Structure 1
Amino acid sequence: MNCARSLRLFSALLVFLYSSIGLVSPGLAQQPAAAKRDTSFTIHSAYSKVKKQHPTSSIARPPVPAGVRSQLNLTYCTQDSHDLKLDVFYTAANKRQRRPAVLLIHGGGWHSGDRSQHVPMAQQLAAQGFVAVTAEYRLSTEAPYPAAVQDLKAAIRWLRNHADLYSIDPNRIAVWGFSAGGQLAALVGSTNGEALFEQGGCSSKQSSSVQAVVNVDGILAFLHPESGEGDDSKSTSAATYWFGGPKTERPELWQQASALTHVGPRTPPTLFINSSVDRMHAGRDDMLARLQALGVYTEVQRFPDAPHTFVLFNPWFEPTLRYTVDFLNKVFRVR
Structure 2
Amino acid sequence: MMKTSFLLIITVSITNLYSQSKTDFSYTTISEYNKQVKKFPFIKMVSPIKDSLIKEEENIIYFKSKKITLAFDSYQLKSREKKPAILLIHGGGWKSGNKSMLKPLAQNIAKSGYSCFTIEYRLSDEAQYPSSIDDILESLKFIKKNAHKFNIDTLKVGVLGCSSGGQMASLLGAKFPKYFQAIVNLDGVLAFHHPESSEGTLAAKWLGGTYEEKPYVWHEASALSHVDERTSPILFINSQYDRFHAGRDDFINILNKYHIYNKIETIKDSPHTFWLFEPWFEDTLLYITNFLDSIFKSNR
Instruction: Tell me whether 1:275 sits opposite 2:239 in the alignment.
Output: yes
Q: How does 1:74-93 map to 2 (within 5 A)?
A: 74-93=60-79
Residue in 1 that maps onto 2:123: 139
- Aligned AA for 1:225? P
* Residue ranges of structure 1 left out of the alignment (5+ in a row): 1-33, 194-207, 231-236
* Separation (CA, whole Å) in 2 of partners of 1:144 and 1:80: 18
1:124 pairs, out of 86, 92, 108, with 108
The 3-state SS of whatever aligns with 2:38 is helix
1:214 corresponds in structure 2 to: 184
CA distance in 2, matches of 1:87, 1:334: 28
TM-score, scaled relative to structure 1 = 0.81
Asked whether the 8 Å contact 2:171–2:222 carries over to 1, the reply is yes
Percent of residue pairs bearing the same amino acid type? 42
Q: 2:255 and 2:215 mapped to 1: Cα distance?
A: 24
Question: In the TM superposition, what is the alpha-carbon distance from 1:192 to its structure 2 partner?
Answer: 1.1
Aligned residue number for residue 66 of structure 1: 52
CA contact (8 A) 2:265 2:287 kept: yes
In the alignment, which of 23, 38, 59 is matched to residue 52 of structure 1? 38
Deviation of 1:79 after TM superposition, in Å, equals 4.7
Q: 1:12 corresponds to which residue?
A: none
**Could you list the runs of 4 or more consecutive aligned residues of structure 1 that deviate by over 6 angstroms after TM superposition?**
none
Instruction: Tell me the residue number matched to 1:26.
Output: none
Q: Which residue of 1 aligns with 2:173?
A: 189
Q: How many equivalent pairs are there?
A: 280
Kindly report the root-mean-square deviation, in angstroms, between the aligned alpha carbons of the 2 structures: 1.5
Structure 2: stretches of 5+ with no match in the other structure: 1-19
Aligned partner of 1:102 among 71, 82, 86 = 86
Q: Which residue of 1 aligns with 2:159?
A: 175
Given residue 297 of structure 2, which amino acid in structure 1 is its aligned partner? R
| 246 and 297 in structure 1: CA distance in 2 versus 1, 3 angstrom threshold | same
- What one-letter code is carried by the residue in structure 2 that aligns with 1:313? F
Aligned mate of 1:152, from 113, 123, 136 = 136
Deviations 1:19-49 (A, max 9, x none): xxxxxxxxxxxxxxx9611111111111112
Q: Cα offset for 1:289? A: 0.8
Relative to the length of structure 2, the TM-score reads 0.90
CA–CA distance in structure 1, aligned partners of residues 191 and 288 of structure 2: 23
How many angstroms apart in 2 are the aligned matches of 1:307 and 1:48? Answer: 12
